[in-house]
Amino acid sequence: MGLLLAMVLATATAAAAAQPACGADALGTSRTLTLKREAAAWGAQHAALPTLAPGEIVLSFDDGPRPESTPRVLKALADQCVKASFFMNGEPMRQHAALARQVRDAGHSVGMHGFRHEHFPQLSSAAQLADLDAMVATYRAALGSEPAAYRFPFLEETPTLLTALRERGLTVMSVDAGAEDWLPDQTPQMLADKLMGQLAKSGGGIVLLHDAQDQTAAALPFLLQALKAKGYRVVHLRWE
Ligand SMILES: [Zn+2]
């Protein structure tokens, strides 16, 4: 075998190992949308994500990382060559920092979702700000980088935290559609029906799911197939 041919083969093999083979029947990731690191707010509570066309969706997963379910979500996404955003809580992120890094190293975006999953409107301003400080510190410790985005637990936004996030240049991420996958005993078909119904109304946008839910991890291959069948195109959200 000539040296050049051997090098070509070695390069091709390395590329194949790094990139899962996804056929035409895979959902895939159609494009990447890179946002500025700035104080902004997107999703139904605020404004539509810029440049998102009808039928384009951003997949996001909240409440992890959780060893029992997050790896199954990563596997389902990798099998379909889909990149998503994970909004992690600080407590599990601190406890499972290696899993948080695994999510990032798989090419997904990581945002924040509150150190504890609190109802912030019921807390004092000082307690809200302490939770944000703990969340940011945990993110830095786990990932060694600066966070760019935040999603409120229960989507319960407060003036105190909205001001603090704006002052820190952090983007607020709301949602446009979901599957209500926090409800108990949801079958894959029930979750798919709910998600398709909400997406039919929103026309696309930011999709909220929960990688901390076993039923969501189990249903995800089916949900991704359903999105593909309906012609939705996945956009990978990143921050510069
Ligand atoms: Zn949550």
Distance 153 CA to ligand 1 centre (A): 5
Span from the CA of 49 to the centroid of ligand 1 (angstroms): 20
83 backbone dihedrals φ, ψ, rounded to 5°: -105, 140
161 CA distance to ligand 1 centroid (A)? 16
Question: How far does the centroid of ligand 1 lie from the alpha carbon of residue 218, in Å?
Answer: 18
Which segments of 115-204 are extended strands (E)?
A: 149-150, 171-173, 177-178
pLDDT band at 19 (very low <50, low <70, confident <90, very high): low
206, 60 in Cβ contact below 8 A?
A: yes
Q: Which two tokens stand for residue 66?
A: 């959780």
**Contact status, residue 60 vs residue 85, Cβ threshold 8 Å:** yes
For residues 27 and 84, what is the distance between their CA atoms, to the nearest angstrom? 12
Q: Determine the pLDDT at residue 17.
A: 44
CA–centroid distance, residue 168 to ligand 1 (Å): 22
Domain assignments of the chain as residue spans, ordered by start: 38-239
- Cα 82 to ligand 1 centroid, rounded to whole Å: 21
Query: What does the alpha-carbon distance between residue 74 and residue 103 come to, in Å, rounded to a whole number?
Result: 7
The Cα 60–Cα 109 span in angstroms is 9
Complete DSSP assignment for 14-45:
HHHHHS----TTS----EEEEEPSSS-EESTT
Q: How confident is the model at residue 22 (pLDDT cuts 50, 70, 90)?
A: confident
Cα(167) to centroid(ligand 1), Å? 23
Give the model confidence (pLDDT) of 53-104 as tens digits.
999 999 999 999 999 999 999 999 999 999 999 999 999 999 999 999 999 9
113 CA → ligand 1 middle, Å: 7
How many A from CA of 23 to the centre of ligand 1? 33
The Å distance, Cα 174 to ligand 1 centre, comes to 11
* Per-residue tokens: 128: 């809200």
Task: Measure 116 CA to ligand 1 centroid, in angstroms.
Answer: 10
Domain 38-239 classified CATH 3.20.20.370? yes
- What is the widest separation between alpha-carbon atoms in the chain? 71
The Å distance, Cα 156 to ligand 1 centre, comes to 10
Q: Name which residue leads in pLDDT, 10 or 173.
A: 173
Strands (E) across the chain are located at 31-35, 41-42, 56-62, 85-88, 109-112, 149-150, 171-173, 177-178, 205-210, 233-239
Give the pLDDT of residue 188.
Answer: 97
What tokens were used for 166? 């704006």
How high is the pLDDT of residue 194? Answer: 98
Ligand 1 center from residue 210 Cα (angstroms): 7
**176 C-alpha to ligand 1 centroid (Å):** 15
